[in-house]
Structure 1
Amino acid sequence: MPFAQLLLAMVQPIIARIMVTLGLSIASFVGMDLLMNQVISHAQNAWGGLPSGILQLAGLAGIGQALGIIMGAVLTRVLIWQLSRSTRIMGSNT
């Protein structure tokens, strides 16, 4: 077996794993982005329906910032989970 064939036989499964992992990651990230945009849009619509007195008190209490921090934490946790799943797929035999 020539060296080029041997090298190609070793590299091809690695390239296939990388392509599968990138495809799953991109699909997951796009799906998560759409989901989070819908959740944020729904929360903004619900937030806008509150009476002005409650909105003023919530603004003084920092509820808007707290919701932003919570949404950022949830998104970060899901993305870290997805990254660990992608790494697990890379390490498994496919």
Structure 2
Amino acid sequence: MAMDSCKILGYHIPKETQVLVNVWAIGRDPKTWENLSKFRPERFLELNTMDYKGHHFEFIPFGSGRRMCLAVPLASRLLSMALGSLLHCFDWSLANGVKPEDWI
């Protein structure tokens, strides 16, 4: 809810107006994401300045600012532990005898 009247991108927002954010549209904005219809998880491995800690609206499902997800610090710590446990406790191999050099 807008605490005071303000102008955003040329639109007048009256005081106490409830503003809804279209998260679906942000996640599919072609100005933000290249090839947004393709499944490319490696796009998040590229070095850039975006983070998920509430400062970049590309990751709005985690929230932003004071209202961001309370579990983000917990998830960021537990994710590395869970992945490390999986890598440590299982013997991983490629299916059907595929060699790593053939796969790349």
**TM-score in terms of structure 2 length:** 0.26
**TM-score in terms of structure 1 length:** 0.28
Q: Which structure shows the higher strand fraction? A: 2
RCO greater where, 1 or 2, for CA within 8 Å and sep 6 or more? 1
